[in-house]
Amino acid sequence: MERIRFVLCRPSHPGNIGAAARAMKAMGLADLRLVAPERYPAHEAYWMATGAADVLDRARVHAALREAIADCAAAFALSARPREWSPQVLDARAAAVRALALDAPVAFVFGAEAAGLTNEELFACQYLVHIPASPEFSSLNLAQAVQVVAYELLVASGAGVPPARAGKLATIADIEGLYAHLEQAALASGFLAPESGSRLRERWRRLFSRVPALEREEVNILRGLLKALLAKQSGE
Ligand code: SAH
């Protein structure tokens, strides 16, 4: 994620710059570039950035898009409108995956609020990225478009997946121990007749095979219960 850069071309509202900085920071992104912003620095930017003022402080201002992306391996242009002529088109999700697969700095380039990106800016990029939206009104607010792309990058980076549970996984030997214990309890209780030819054993193997990542402690709970039931039964 450190290699991902967001470039805002000629943004007219400083509030959108601040909201974009906040959207980026909340998704773990920090490299913001501004190309010829209409009004910047500005108080409104800081008001909207709230806790992401550091992203604004570090934002670099460039005179032209080419300068802001010169050292990148690829640039992804965001446009609400499909264009008759354009570089390769991707949706935001596919673009995030593609960008992270490149082991080099990459830029996501956003247009100005009113007019979007010029054709020249579009063709300075290698990809055209579309955020799926209503065909009747497909134009998102600039900072909200930044949020969607930043979110897709976070998810594609794998950081959005909650950490694996702490529990130690059961081994095959643990699970075989459970099956043996189930069989013992089934026979002792008369639930399963010794020569019945029932498919009971296959059935519980099938059942437990559908439980992903069974934990050792979970197997031990079931075995503890079986043990208590068996002890009660033999005491009666
Ligand atoms: N009226 C402009 C839209 C500007 S919205 C136009 O028609 O192009 C400001 C910027 O947000 C756009 O330049 C683009 O970079 C981004 N954006 C807004 N909606 C988008 C969408 N559905 N898909 C991709 N980018 C979008």
Cα 35 from Cα 5, distance rounded (Å): 13
Determine whether the shortest distance from the Cβ of 130 to ligand 1 is under 6 A.
yes
Residue after which a domain boundary falls, among 124, 156, 188: 156
Whether residue 132 contacts residue 92, with contact meaning beta carbons closer than 8 Å, is answered with yes
Q: Atom 26 (ligand 1): residue with closest C-alpha?
A: 80
Residue after which a domain boundary falls, among 93, 125, 156: 156
Rounded to the nearest whole angstrom, what is the distance from the C-alpha of residue 103 to the centroid of ligand 1?
27
| 209 and 146 belong to one structural domain | no
Domain enclosing residue 226, as ranges: 172-235
| 81 and 179 belong to one structural domain | no
Cα 89 from Cα 166, distance rounded (Å): 41
Among 13, 79, 147, 151, the mutation site with the greatest number of ligand 1 atoms within 8 A of its Cβ is 79
Phi/psi at 137 (nearest 5 deg)? -155, 90
Q: What is the pTM of this model?
A: 0.76
| 57 and 132 belong to one structural domain | yes
Phi/psi at 36 (nearest 5 deg)? 40, 60
Could you give the number of structural domains in the chain? 2
Residue after which a domain boundary falls, among 156, 191, 219: 156
DSSP 3-state assignment of 14? helix
* Of residues 194, 192, 185, 189, the one with CA closest to residue 227: 185
| 41 and 137 belong to one structural domain | yes
Helix H or strand E segment including 178: helix 172-188
What does each of the 236 residues of the chain score in pLDDT, given as a tens digit?
999 999 999 999 999 999 999 999 999 999 999 999 999 999 999 999 999 999 999 999 999 999 999 999 999 999 998 888 888 999 999 999 999 999 899 999 999 999 999 999 999 999 999 999 999 999 999 999 999 999 999 999 998 777 666 789 999 999 999 999 999 999 999 999 988 888 998 999 999 999 888 999 999 999 999 999 999 988 87
